[in-house]
Amino acid sequence: MTAPQEPIEPTLGALPEDDLQTELNTLRAELESVQAALQAQQEQVLRAMAEAENVRRRAQEDVSKARKFSIESFAEGMVPVKDSLEAALAQADQTVETLREGVEMTLKQLTNAFERNLLKEIAPVQGDKFDPHQHQAISSVPAAQPANTVVQVLQKGYAIADRTLRPALVVVSAGQ
């Protein structure tokens, strides 16, 4: 049988007790400092996350409002056009000339509303080069002009800003 061993106590060296207490106090102060810094960092992270969520939510609301009211300006331009058309139809005894004048004024209102809202006509002329981004070829016919050029416009197209809303319907030359 072996003799029972006595527990080994950790020793911190030959430091006097006052030095040990000072070292312990220093370590506690460092620990408290690190814990305070960690807590401050955690609070900053939480604030940043909350701010990011608020920005995301505000952006979603802005997009929603933009979708909902994006046509508002265009609609404001269309209301007078509708009013003019209704007024023209309400006139019982009109001459062809007064009806034509009213239609021309209404067309001018419509054109102004289109311009204010960046809605532009795509109206190629005969001989223009065919552009598949703005034109839709309905057919190709033999013609005296170069191939892939517009022979005839069947219907104007429209673009909003730089985006084609409806391509112009055209007949294209197949060459000779």
pLDDT in tens, 126-173: 999 999 999 999 999 999 999 999 999 999 999 998 899 999 999 999
pLDDT computed for residue 7 by the predictor:
56
Mean pLDDT of the chain: 89
Q: What is the pTM of this model?
A: 0.60
Looking at the chain, the whole-number percentage of residues with pLDDT higher than 90 is 64
Window from 8-12, 112-116, 150-154 with minimum mean pLDDT? 8-12
Averaged pLDDT for residues 59-79: 87
Residue 61's pLDDT is what?
Answer: 93
What local confidence, expressed as pLDDT, does residue 131 receive? 95
The 3 state secondary structure assigned to the chain is CCCCCCCCCCCCCCCCHHHHHHHHHHHHHHHHHHHHHHHHHHHHHHHHHHHHHHHHHHHHHHHHHHHHHCCHHHHHHHHHHHHHHHHHHHCCCCCHHHHHHHHHHHHHHHHHHHHHCCEEEECCCCCCECCCCCEEEEEEECCCCCCCEEEEEEECEEEECCEEEECEEEEEECCC
- Please give the pLDDT value at position 132: 95
Q: Return the higher-pLDDT residue of 67 and 104.
A: 104
Can you tell me the mean pLDDT for 113-119? 90
- 117 pLDDT higher than 70: yes
65: confidence class by pLDDT, cuts 50, 70, 90: confident
pLDDT tens track for 24-60:
999 999 999 999 999 999 999 999 999 999 999 999 9
Q: Is the pLDDT of residue 69 over 70?
A: yes
